[in-house]
Structure 1
Amino acid sequence: MSRLLPPMQTVSTGLVVAVVGFFSSFPIVLQGLAGIGASADEAASGLMAAAVSMGITGVLLSLWYRAPISVAWSTPGAALLAVSATPAEGFSGAIGAFLCAGALTVLAGLWKPLARLAASIPTSLAQAMLAGVLLPLCITPFRAAAELPLQTLPVILTWFIAGRISRAFAVPAAVLAAMLMVILNAGGQSVIPDQILTKPVLTAPSFSLATAIGIGIPLFIVTMATQNIPGIAVLRSYGYTPPAGPLLSSAGGASLLFAPFGAPATCLAAITAAMCSNEDSHPDPTLRYWSAVMAGVFYCLFGVFAAAITGFAAHAHPLLMGTLTGIALIGVFANATFAALEVQAEREAAILTFAITASGVTVFGIGAAVWGLLAGSAAFWITRRTRPENIARR
């Protein structure tokens, strides 16, 4: 019977996982989609497609492998989109970049040398690139506190106070506070969305080398380094060993399938995988996969109402939405910065990667994240080659 119906404890765990996973980061996804030229309808469709993609993929993988395989949208990837220049082709160019990143993920699952190449990027540089991407977004709440204090300070304080009680619910609590601010500052106007159910919007992709290099490849790298590889590691730390190749290919395949509807990237989750895999999920390790299954079901339900969420967010001041995005990423930024600077011998290369990425420069149509990673990699290689112990061996 346990294989036919989920235990109630896993249903409640799945709901908590879905609430944390969705409401802690949907403002980042909306910000990212808007940053690369999506219209309101396209952003709603993208949010829906991202939620449904990770929901269906998580359900199928968890049932197939009988393991708590939690799947997510790429939060760092969405943050990357938020600071990327809109492609010359518009949102259709971004769809092409999503397909490029998805195809590379499928290939990484099928062809081990590509997976090893992605994993060989020094952790310090990958995390430094991520930290550089996140810095402008994490500054926004404090700019907003000076320019829009009556709306943003209550949200920041709610996030901080709730975080002292439960880190997992800090951002969802801030979302509720932001909703209250929108209602209170509506000036008597209705903030009820015109559309409740989400209508999928299919966008034909456009492809260009500049967009593939400037968005597609960085999206693949940051998702592999900060989501897919840690997600597999978390599962293994709890004793679950599904094959990595099919997991990557499945996540990449879902990305390819849902990208034309606006979903940036589907990937393996790390934080929510831990929530599904520990003893709080269920005392019996063989039944914990149901938590990931139920989380996937709830993700799909949330996705159906993405239009209502997007419509409500449209009534919010841009700085208020920027505040939600920034505070949702502060923890990720702190972890990325620590990981980037942890190894003393690699700090100079990591700081170079971080500084160039955070600068936001675009050269030859290629964004700062690529240039930061290239410059940091060059510095990393030169530093290693010129260490006294390495010179002595020659």
Structure 2
Amino acid sequence: MRSAFLPFSALLAGFVAVLVGYASSAAIIWQAAAAAGATPDQIAGWMTTLGLAMGVSTLAFSLWYRLPVLTAWSTPGAALLVTSLHGLTLNEAVGVFIFANALIVLCGVTGLFARLMKIIPHTLAAAMLAGILLRFGLQAFSNLQQHTLLCASMLLAWLVCKRLAPRYAIVAALIAGIMVALLKGDVVTNEIDLSLALPAFISPVFNGSALVSVGLPLFLATMASQNAPGFATMQAAGYRVPASPLMSATGAMALLLSPFGGWSVCIAAITAAICQSPEAHPDKAQRWKASAAAGLFYLLAGIGGGAISSLLTALPLSWIQTLAGLALLGTISGSLVQALAKENERDAAVVTFLTTASGVTLAGAGSAFWGLVAGGVCYAVLSRTRRA
């Protein structure tokens, strides 16, 4: 590809977007797949499917619309799966993926997205997300007790880089952690496999309880915490894109790839902002080239999905947990700010947050579902009381 068509600044922005995306959440995807009972080979196949799916969709949207449109997996959704898939079989997990993605397609085809977001108070959706992610934030610091050197070095690298170059803070923590793990001999290199990992078909099983307790919160978390911010990011950068076609296309792709581990394809927000910035290209109309470059790097990451999965398997679990927690700090703080933004809805939001964070399971339904139920009841009762 000629440099005149793809300037170095656009190429670099695309590379950084993919690097930050993988560095900040690949560890969470690995934990989610492991929670579903996937074997290391199956996890590698999932990473291949996700990389290729994001590469094809990002490249196609960028070339078609000539706009910097990036796709990503749902990091908040992955965090929810880590805490919610225990006790389910891998086949039941695939059934959950299909159910959630079918609802996303329905929202895209019918244009129900805006109306759905009005039904569920935004404060409660944000509180549910904060409750889901609380565990990850705690893990970023709880590992200090037994893995002091590794976790402290990652925290220090993150803090220093957050002050000097915030965009690369997670990358700095990742590199620092790997270096310390290598020096301590905590990396199991004999298990690293660089061969191509082919996705395997997993037949779905639809468990009604799992669809309600996991599938519905997964759908809500994906829509409220990934797709909505993704579209808001593009609008803030001055790019207008049709929401329904993009949502239908990404949902349909994820729906088709769910049995192969492609459980989520969404509109990116944080990584998309990298390709939508002036650093990517001085000409706003040419910044789609940065997202097109990101699509190419996604494809390369998909081909190397087996290597990425092997690396995550070889590294200490404390490294994965600390990296995931640091990557989600911004999302946790942002969710709490949104959850507590409206004074007259704070009580309901706090109930949602605490119920979700408690991990309670009732009647087969997980805490994320009951968090919305408990918060919704409080919201309805308190709102009626205030009106009276």
Q: Identify the range of structure 1 (350-359 vs 48-57) with the bigger mean alpha-carbon deviation.
A: 48-57
Mark the CA change 1:240 to 1:356 in structure 2 (over 3 Å): closer, same or farther. same
CA apart distance, 1:87? 4.4
Percent identity over the alignment is 38
The TM-score, its normalising length taken from structure 1, stands at 0.93
Alignment of 1:142-161 (within 5 A): 142-161=141-160
Contact 1:85–1:367 (CA<8 Å) still a contact in 2?
no
Deviations 1:24-52 (A, max 9, x none): 21111111211222211121111222222
Mark the CA change 1:35 to 1:286 in structure 2 (over 3 Å): closer, same or farther. same
Residues in 1 aligned to 2:315 and 2:12: alpha-carbon distance in whole angstroms: 31
State whether structure 2 residue 72 is matched by structure 1 residue 75: no
Task: State the secondary structure of the residue aligned to 2:72.
Answer: strand
CA apart distance, 1:189? 6.1
The TM-score, its normalising length taken from structure 2, stands at 0.94
Residues in 2 aligned to 1:19 and 1:187: alpha-carbon distance in whole angstroms: 23
CA apart distance, 1:191? 4.8
Residues in 1 aligned to 2:3 and 2:213: alpha-carbon distance in whole angstroms: 45
The unaligned stretches of length 5 or more in structure 1 are none
Task: State the secondary structure of the residue aligned to 2:238.
Answer: coil
Mark the CA change 1:342 to 1:189 in structure 2 (over 3 Å): closer, same or farther. closer
Alignment of 1:187-198 (within 5 A): 190-191=189-190, 193-198=192-197
Length, aligned pairs only:
388
Contact 2:136–2:324 (CA<8 Å) still a contact in 1?
yes
Contact 2:85–2:93 (CA<8 Å) still a contact in 1?
no
Aligned to 1:233: 232
Contact 1:87–1:94 (CA<8 Å) still a contact in 2?
no
Aligned to 1:39: 39
Residues in 2 aligned to 1:326 and 1:99: alpha-carbon distance in whole angstroms: 27
Deviations 1:52-86 (A, max 9, x none): 21221111112111111111110000111111142
Mark the CA change 1:349 to 1:187 in structure 2 (over 3 Å): closer, same or farther. closer
Contact 2:349–2:375 (CA<8 Å) still a contact in 1?
yes
Aligned to 1:368: 367
Deviations 1:355-379 (A, max 9, x none): 0000001111111000001111111
State whether structure 2 residue 143 is matched by structure 1 residue 130: no
> Which AA in structure 1 matches 2:124?
L
Aligned to 2:281: 282
Aligned to 1:19: 19
Q: Identify the range of structure 1 (182-191 vs 211-220) with the bigger mean alpha-carbon deviation.
A: 182-191
Task: State the secondary structure of the residue aligned to 2:246.
Answer: helix
Task: State the secondary structure of the residue aligned to 1:147.
Answer: coil
Aligned to 1:166: 165
Aligned to 1:185: 184
- Following TM superposition, the consecutive aligned residue runs of length 4 or more in structure 1 with deviations greater than 4 angstroms are 1-4
Alignment of 1:105-124 (within 5 A): 105-113=104-112, 115-124=114-123
The unaligned stretches of length 5 or more in structure 2 are none
* RMSD (Å), alpha carbons: 2.0
Aligned to 1:258: 257
